[in-house]
Amino acid sequence: MKKQQAIYKIWRMLLPFIFILVLIHFVKDVTQDILRVSSVLDVFGNVKEDISYFPETLKKIYFWFSVSSFFAEIFLLVSIPIVMRRKNFSKLEMMTMTLVIYLLVYFVIAVSLDPRITTLFKSSLAIF
């Protein structure tokens, strides 16, 4: 039980930082991907995935995940402030936690598909 309470406290402490990161990334998505406007935020989370070698079905699935991540960000921008005001763990908080994990997994996959990152990772491993 104490372990759960410790995890819950850490989760609660991370929520404001998660909110700020999601807000910055959401604004970047809107300016860069939707409005096609260059901004300082273009550097933040600017992953250039190479999915050219994917079969068409996987490309469509990956595209669906990228679109759903945009809507997940919108949901998080609304839900995190509500969750931060509540004292008890709720279904909304569970959904928020699930979407944060979803975005983390999606981010790891997207970064791993960026040839710049994989090249950098391989060259750093070559040192050892």
Q: What angle do CA 60, 102, 6 make, to 5 degrees?
A: 175
Model pLDDT for residues 31-70, shown as the tens digit of each residue: 888 888 887 777 766 778 888 888 999 999 999 999 999 9
The domain spans of the chain are 2-40+51-127
Model pLDDT for residues 75-124, shown as the tens digit of each residue: 999 999 999 999 888 999 999 999 999 999 999 898 888 887 767 666 66
| Whole-number Å distance between alpha carbons of 17 and 100 | 12
Q: Which residue has the tokens 């490309």?
A: 59
CA atoms within 13 A on the CB side of 73: 20
Long-range contact pairs involving 117-126 (C-beta distance under 8 Å, separation at least 24):
117/47
Does this model's pTM top 0.75? My answer is yes
User: 90 in helix, strand or coil?
Assistant: coil
Which residue, 104, 98, 54, is CA-closest to 80? 98
